[in-house]
Structure formats: C-alpha cells, structure tokens
Amino acid sequence: RDRDYSALHKYSQSQSTSKKDGSVEERRSMASSMGGGNAGEGEWLKVAELRAMAEAQDPHVKEVDNLTLRRFLRARGHAVGKASAMLLKFVAWRREAVPGGVMLAELVRTELSHEMAYMAGADRAGRPVMLAFPAKHFSATRDMAGFKRYVVYLFDAMCAR
C-alpha cells in the first residue's frame, strides 16, 4: 500500500507541466511532441487549445496532464468550450476533495484495513486491474466522507500505475 502512494507521488510529480502562453506555434510544437495513443495532430492542437482556455480561468489546470485533457476533450465530442467547463468543475472538485493534491494512505487507513479492494497487477495490455469486494461494503455503517476519500485514493493509485 505504501508502494501505491510512492508510485502515485512519482506520477503526480512527473505529470506537472510548464506554463504555456498558448501561441499557435507553441500549440503546434506541443502537438507534434506529445505523440501517444491514437490521436492525430488536430486532436493535440485541440488539447493545447483546451489547456490555454482552462488555464486562463484557473491556474491549477497546469497540474493536469495532457492525456487527461484529451479524455475531457473526447468526453465532450471535441467541443473545447464544453470540455473546458467540465475540466474546470473537476479541478475545483479535486481541489476541495483532495486539498494537498494527493490522497495520503494515512487518511484512509480505516477503509484500507477493511480490504474492500486491492490492486491485482495488470491485464495483458498493461492496464492496472483492481479487484473490489462488494460484500465487504456496508453502507449502513460507513462514513460517506471517509468512503469518498477511499475511492479517490483507489483511483489515484490506479492512475499512478
């Protein structure tokens, strides 16, 4: 479990990006250097546009990596304005739910002791696998705020892998 936190911390440190002024040349340069996935240059240009638009409204967006921005963009059908609104809501929620930026294992120690879920390695494509045991989730006796912290911790641990 401590390994999950350490991997998460390394991941969050590696994903920080430098501030960009949003010029067309910079966006094209960023688009050509991003590579990754099944995205073409046009999609990466939209990612850069999304970053510039969202960072103008909330400087905390610079902490969000480009692949996450691409997911927001795809979730809104490549509509940059809609993706920006969705992203800004997420960043505000994340800042409120995880004030330090990383959910520490100490904050979810009780939930971790119940062993309701654990990381189970990776699938054939290298994606992380999490096993959850719904029978161990007792909603009547659960502190919902603590459970929300636990879910954030689990997803952060998966993303770190």
> Can you tell me the mean pLDDT for 42-48?
94
Fold that domain 40-97 belongs to in CATH: Helicase, Ruva Protein; domain 3 (1.10.8)
- Is the pLDDT reported for residue 33 higher than 80? no
Lowest pLDDT segment from 48-52, 84-88, 143-147:
143-147
How many other CB atoms are found less than 10 A from the CB of residue 74? 14
Note the residue count of the chain: 161
- Predicted confidence at residue 26, as pLDDT, reads 53
How many other CB atoms are found less than 10 A from the CB of residue 49? 20
- Predicted confidence at residue 113, as pLDDT, reads 86
How far is residue 102 from each of residues 98, 107, 113, 154, measured CA to CA in Å? 6, 10, 20, 11
- Predicted confidence at residue 37, as pLDDT, reads 55
How many other CB atoms are found less than 10 A from the CB of residue 102? 18
What is the C-alpha separation between 18 and 16, in angstroms, rounded?
Answer: 7
> Can you tell me the mean pLDDT for 76-82?
96
- Is the pLDDT reported for residue 2 higher than 80? no
- Predicted confidence at residue 137, as pLDDT, reads 76
pLDDT, tens digit, for every residue of 86-142? 999 999 999 988 888 888 888 888 888 888 888 888 999 988 899 988 888 777 777
- Predicted confidence at residue 13, as pLDDT, reads 42
Q: What is the pTM of this model?
A: 0.65
**Domain ranges within the chain, ordered by starting residue:** 40-97, 105-159
> Can you tell me the mean pLDDT for 35-62?
87
- Predicted confidence at residue 38, as pLDDT, reads 63
> Can you tell me the mean pLDDT for 5-30?
44
